[in-house]
Structures are given as C-alpha cells and as structure tokens.
Amino acid sequence: MKYNIAVVPGDGIGPEVVGEAIKVLNAIGQKYNHQFNYTTVLAGGAAIDEYGECLPEATVEACKNSDAVLLGAVGGPKWDHVPGPQRPERALLGLRKALGLYANLRPAMIFQELADASPLKPSILDGGLDILIVRELTGGIYFGEHVTESGEDGSVTAYDVEKYSDYEIQRIARTAFEMASKRNGRVTSVDKANVLDSSRLWRKIVGEMSSDYGNVELDNMYVDNAAMQLIRDPKHFDVIVTGNMFGDILSDEASQITGSIGMLPSASLGTGNPGLFEPIHGSAPDIAGKDIVNPTACILSAAMMLRYSFGMAEEADAIENAVNKVLDKGLRTADNMSEGCTCLGCTAMGDAILAEI
C-alpha cells in the first residue's frame, strides 16, 4: 500500500525533528513493506518568508489531498512583529479548522526510565502515569469573535467570545468516551460550569452522552480544581475531555508532570479528512539548528499517525518499543539528561531509535 504524507516542517526545531521522524517512518516502511510518499509544504513563519502569508492555499490543498499530515512546529521571535491574524500560530489554527480536526489527543505518560525528571514526588507518581487529554480543537474562544475597539472617550476594549454548540460537544464527548472504553474506563469532563453558560451546556451534553457508555464512569470537575488535582493526585485521571482553551492550558501542565515535554506526541483528528500529527512542544528557536533537540515527541507523533490514520498498530508498537529500548540503554538528549546516561544529539537519537526497529 502507498500512503501520501503531507509534511509541514515549520519553523525553529521543526525541520530537525520532522527529519528524524521521516527516517524512522522509512525504516518502518522497509520492515513492514509499506510505501510512504512525502510532500513537503510550508506553513507558519517559513511560509510568511516565502509567500507573505502563514497558511498558503497550496499548503491547505496538499494537506487535504494527503492521507495524513506530519507537522513540526511553527513560530519564533523573527515574526513577533507580525499582526495577530497573520502570525505563524494562526497557520495551526487555520489548518485545524480547514481539515475539521476537532479532536486533539494529547497523551501525558511517564516513561519509567524518566520518572526522576518529574517535578512531582515519587509517592504521588507511584506506579506511573498515563493520562489522555482530549481537547476540543476547532471551537471555543480561540475561534469565537476577536474584537478590539476604541470608545469615544479614548478607552480601548477587547473581547473574545467563548461559544460552543451542542453538536460540537457531542462529537468531542463521543471521542473521549470511545477512548476511555479502550483504556481505564474513566472520563473526567473539565469545565467552569459554576460561572459560564458555555460550560453549563458542555456539562449537560457530556452527561447526556454518557448514557450511551455504560462501561465508562464520568465525573465533572471545574477547571481550577482540575489544575490542582493534576498536581495533587494525577492518577485520578484516565481521560480528560475539555474545551479548546482549558485543554491548551491543562495539556501543558500535564506534560510538565511527566517531566519531559520533548517526549510527548499529539494527534488531531476529524471525520473525512486526514489527521494531523505533531509534537506538543513548540518551535524552541533558542536551540534550533544546533542538533541538540529531542526528536522523540515527533517520532512518537509518527507512531500515532500509523496507529490512528493507517490502522498500523503493530508498526506503531514497534516505534514505541524502540523508544523504550533506547531509554533503557541510558541514551538521552540534553532535555532529559541525567547522571550515568549518555547524551545524544538530535540526529544520533533518531539513529538510535531507528537501530531498534
């Protein structure tokens, strides 16, 4: 079988990590007899430099016409002066919207070998950590109206609208319940229903949906409490389902509990369009081009691509096992280096993972 992958290396360390992920995909292709074809397109700062816009139509088209999209990262200080609607980050939002990728899966798991890297006490993390954050990705305040207006008295007011419709909540809740039924059977829905109408609707709809999933237990939590419980008792959580902004914030928090944002992949899925797979870390411009970044999150994103878009569970397992073997051997990158381990650069880490496949 042939698979067409649109590749969006993006900015900063994006091209480096994507390069390593492609090496690993090619090794999988050889071993399991699949043909992966790549079409590289620009988005973010790289596209602003080349075409004067962060998300050219040709990029959207190439992504739509692919079987899956692999993305590095976008943004950097070079484009800080660019006005809001044209910022590199808007390329991400635009691509998610154009492809209808409403479900963002962000696993936060602890790799046993890296448990020391977590800022939480071992007693809290005893036995590991495996949370899946299911973040709604094409609605809410990031896609509501954004307005800045001047009053006649010279004052300036800005506002952004948080808005959710029942069907948007239903489909993301379904994703969360489906995921939980294949995991530990628990969904925590996070909202701010004590204050926001949009959250009250969220809670009502998620509650209604739960009756279709007798095997999954649902609890509701306010977002401020959820932020606290993630630190106090992270093992409470199996699947967290929440809106766009709360998911953005809580997924960064959860990544830090695992101690290694450089290890965590993500998948953004919709219906009828290719999925998009990207590491959750950003473009890290300060370490770009130095061959020191950890490519693992992007390599694991490629594994998620195989699992969710191409139905290749065995191949995805092969990548994940290879990552674990490399960690077992004490091989690390600068971001999660610890005593007695060997520190590799980006390319060497890609090679080490490849060698285990």
Catalytic center residues:
142, 192, 224, 248, 252
State the Cα angle at 133 between 108 and 330, rounded to 5°.
10
Q: Is the dihedral of CA 181, 187, 279, 336 positive or negative?
A: negative
Tokens 């990158």 -> residue: 333
Buried b / exposed e over 126-162, threshold 16 CB at 10 Å, is eeebbbbbbbbbbbbbbbbeeeeeeeeeeeeeeeeeb
- Contacting residues toward ligand IPM, per CB under 6 A: 89, 92-93, 248
SS3 letters across 149-183? EECCCCCEEEEECCCCCHHHHHHHHHHHHHHHHCC
Q: Is the dihedral of CA 92, 95, 97, 100 positive or negative?
A: negative
Binding partner of residue 89 among Mg ion, ligand IPM, none, CB cut-off 5 to 8 Å per kind: ligand IPM
Beta carbons of 38 and 7 less than 8 angstroms apart = yes
- Contacting residues toward Mg ion, per CB under 5 A: 248
- The least CB distance from residue 72 to Mg ion, in Å, is 15
- The least CB distance from residue 96 to ligand IPM, in Å, is 8
Q: Which residue's beta carbon is nearest to the bound Mg ion?
A: 248
- The least CB distance from residue 43 to ligand IPM, in Å, is 12
- The least CB distance from residue 64 to Mg ion, in Å, is 24
CA distance 141 to 160: 6
Beta carbons of 295 and 264 less than 8 angstroms apart = no
Nearer to ligand IPM (CB atom), residue 77 or residue 128: 77
